Amino acid sequence: MIRIFSCGAGGSVSFGPHAISHHLEKHGHTVKVYDFVDKYTKHQIDYLLRSFASEDIVCVSTVFYVNDKNKNIDYILDSCRVLGIRTLVGGVNPTKTESDYSIIGSYTENETLSLINKLTKKIIYTPFSISNNDFVWSSSHRMMKRAVLPVEISRHCVFNCKFCSYPSRGTKGDNRNPELFRKTLDSANTLYDSSVFILVCSTFNDSVEKLNVFFESIKNTDYEFAAYIRLDLLVKQRQFWPLIKKHIKYMTFGIETLNWESGKAIGKGTNPEIVKKWLMQVREYFDDCFLYSSFIIGLPGDREQDAISTQIFLSSTKCLNGYSFNSLYLEYPNGGKTSQSVFSVESAANGYTIMKQQDEIASQSYINSSAWVRNDGYSSSEAEKLSKSLNMLEKRKLPSFSMAALRSVLTMEKLRDTWYTGTFGVDTSFDQLTTEAFKTISNAYVENSLS
């Protein structure tokens, strides 16, 4: 049996391990996925390992593996080594974990199948195709009731923002077959009563073609989604606004900056005053949707006062339900990752010196982020300090994807009431409610894995 361990992803399951599981099962392999391994106790891990056979292959996804903060993955690999069970580590980033085999990269269905076939002496092989991807949720996935599940309609983004390390940026790939995408949704609805989904792996509205495919797929349904949205395109796609308002209830914008010089440097050169007007228009029309955006501190040309002014604007207008500030994410060039941002690869040309060390001086906002110094002397440690102080001012700053994930255990009415009032019931604060909700979700998946 192939056993795949994966960390949770903001209140939902990580999609990659389930996508790989489906591809392996199509080729005759028996697979079991264990979600939210970061929430297991060592006793629970030992309980599982006792049931494994020596011929099993234990695979570990490190996509949400945060340096030394998650010891469970290391414990699983160490235990398998003692038991003589073969191990495979896969993910975008190289890690310090020790395993028998490793696959570094994104979307590795084909590479994983080739290696597993070799280890198990199977020869059936057909390459993965996103357009003909027939992924469906099945009872073997063991999702919780009313699970909010990740789904994908494509694996590309036509934009190539200089700060972004998404592997399929700047490409125009295929979209999934509408009928097959609908089967993915219906399978989750039938088995788990799921009606809320998270669109992963692409920018939702980067083309009219994709929007047409998507809305054709979900015709005559009440399915709701969380999605990455380009604000500048959304304001030009008003013909789709009624459908978007009905189905895309959780939007994440990548505005990144309201400094015009910084925006031009990363490929988002719209006048910030126009961006503010767009936000107000979108807020007014999508009045029942959760709107969220992240903002980057440390981009070329920005100053600390720009971030402070941005926070004041967002707080005073309430044009977003939530937002967060983060230090610019840079990685040491050629650090082993298969996809790096333009700013990382061409750091000197863009005005940055990246430190090779990735220990206590590295940014803590992201996995594997390196410390950096901008040519004017501004550093990642200063950007990190400012981002933390600004984030403290916005207590209800959960990303839209995490807000969507809460629908596994909360109704939209309860979620909206809690969000806008800051309290639920008599004494329970928003933070308390969400903490308890996320704990309920992770506990449900751990229990399913142990059953």
One-letter amino acid at 306 equals D
Out of 21-30, 37-46, 331-340, least confident range: 331-340
- The DSSP result for 108-170, as a single string, is -HHHHHHHHHHHHT--------STT------GGG-PPTT--EEE-SBS-BS---TT---TTBT
CA distances from 414 to 221, 249, 259, 411 (A): 22, 15, 36, 5
Dist. CA 377–CA 373, nearest whole Å: 6
Q: Strand 224-229 vs strand 196-199: parallel, antiparallel, or unpaired?
A: parallel
Give the bridge partners for 327, in sequence order: 297
pLDDT, position 356 = 67
Out of 86-95, 319-328, 425-434, least confident range: 425-434
Question: What average pLDDT does the chain have?
Answer: 85
pLDDT, position 359 = 42
Task: Give the residue, 129 or 428, on which the prediction is more confident.
Answer: 129
Q: Residue 232: is it exposed, middle or buried by C-beta count within 10 angstroms (0-12/13-18/19+)?
A: middle
pLDDT, position 396 = 57
Q: Is 434 a residue whose pLDDT tops 90?
A: no
Q: Is 4 a residue whose pLDDT tops 60?
A: yes
pLDDT band per the 50, 70, 90 thresholds, residue 67: low
* Closest-CA residue to 391 (of 444, 331, 325, 301): 325
DSSP state of 379: B
Dist. CA 446–CA 72, nearest whole Å: 13
Tallying the residues shown for the chain, one arrives at 451
Handedness of CA 141, 147, 153, 159 (dihedral sign): negative
Q: Which domains does the chain have, with CATH numbers?
A: 2-128 (3.40.50.280), 139-402 (3.80.30.20)
Q: Strand 86-91 vs strand 57-61: parallel, antiparallel, or unpaired?
A: parallel
What angle, 0 to 180 degrees and rounded to 10, lies between the N-to-C axes of helices 272-285 and 304-317?
20
pLDDT band per the 50, 70, 90 thresholds, residue 367: very low
Mean pLDDT of all residues in 47-59: 93
| Count of helices and strands (H, E) across the chain | 16, 17
pLDDT, position 93 = 65
- The DSSP result for 202-250, as a single string, is S-TTS-HHHHHHHHHHTTT---EEEEEE-HHHHTT-GGGHHHHHHHEEE
* Closest-CA residue to 63 (of 202, 154, 165, 206): 165
- HSE (side-chain half, CA atoms, 13 Å) at 416: 10
Dist. CA 278–CA 284, nearest whole Å: 10
What angle, 0 to 180 degrees and rounded to 10, lies between the N-to-C axes of helices 208-217 and 178-192?
40
Task: Give the residue, 156 or 198, on which the prediction is more confident.
Answer: 198
> pLDDT tens digit string along 267-324?
888 999 999 999 999 999 999 899 999 999 999 999 999 999 999 999 999 999 889 9
In terms of average pLDDT, the best of 89-93, 261-265, 272-276 is 272-276
pLDDT, position 170 = 62
Task: Give the residue, 242 or 201, on which the prediction is more confident.
Answer: 242
Phi, psi of 116 (to 5 degrees): -65, -40
Give the bridge partners for 373, in sequence order: 353, 379
Residue with token string 């333009």? 342
Q: Is 96 a residue whose pLDDT tops 70?
A: no
DSSP state of 369: P
